[in-house]
Structure 1
Amino acid sequence: MNRRVHRFAGGSIVLLVLAALLISPAHGYSQTQGIERRQTRRENRDDARATRQAGRHAARDAKQDCKDAGGNRIDCRQLKRETKQDARGA
């Protein structure tokens, strides 16, 4: 009787361990490529934003220099536009 109980308990433990191993999710790496793509897009957006910001700052400085030098409003605006467009490569 005692052996029977031990076998039953041992068999139950083995079955529980096997069931737990089968139910638990396997290690997956399916997210890695998606994460890398998102990170690349994020870096591209950040680079583009930095380029635009640098162009804006340079354009503001150029317009202010033009105004300080006595340039007229239309020419200073055009200079600012050209500076911004040159910064972004358009």
Structure 2
Amino acid sequence: MVAPRRRTIGILAAAGLLALSGATLATDQSQQRQAGRNANQNAKQQARSNKVDCRAANQKSNSQCRQDKRDTKQGGRQQKRDIKY
């Protein structure tokens, strides 16, 4: 009778450890997603600011300002990928 009880306790302990490790993994992924979102949002805001400054200074054509904005946003997307993966 003692052996089945030990086995049950062992199985329950293993299941508990597995559940905890899954929760830790989910928390890490959540933090990575949040950091990725923050990087992406910061890049978007920076791109908007750059475009406004570019047009206000009248240093480039509108199409060149748009391209600079695209490049800034693409850099933010790459930074997000680097964080997540």
Percent same amino acid at aligned positions? Answer: 31
Give 1 or 2 for the bigger CA radius of gyration: 1
Q: CA RMSD in A?
A: 2.1
2:65 counterpart residue number? 76
Which amino acid letter does the alignment assign opposite residue 80 of structure 1?
Answer: K
The Cα of 1:82 is off from its aligned counterpart by 1.0
1:32-47 equivalences in 2 (<5 Å): 32-47=20-35
Highest RCO, 1 vs 2 (Cα 8 Å, sep ≥ 6): 2
Unaligned runs of 5+ in 2: 1-11, 80-85
Give the aligned residue type for 2:62. R
Q: Distance in 2 between matches of 1:36 and 1:48?
A: 18
Structure 1 residue ranges, 4+ long, deviating more than 6 angstroms after superposition: none
Larger fraction in helix: 2
TM-score by length of 2: 0.66
Q: How many residues align?
A: 66
What do the CA deviations read for 1:3-55 (whole angstroms, capped 9, x no partner)?
Answer: xxxxxxxxxxxxxxxxxxxxxxx663331011001111111111110110010
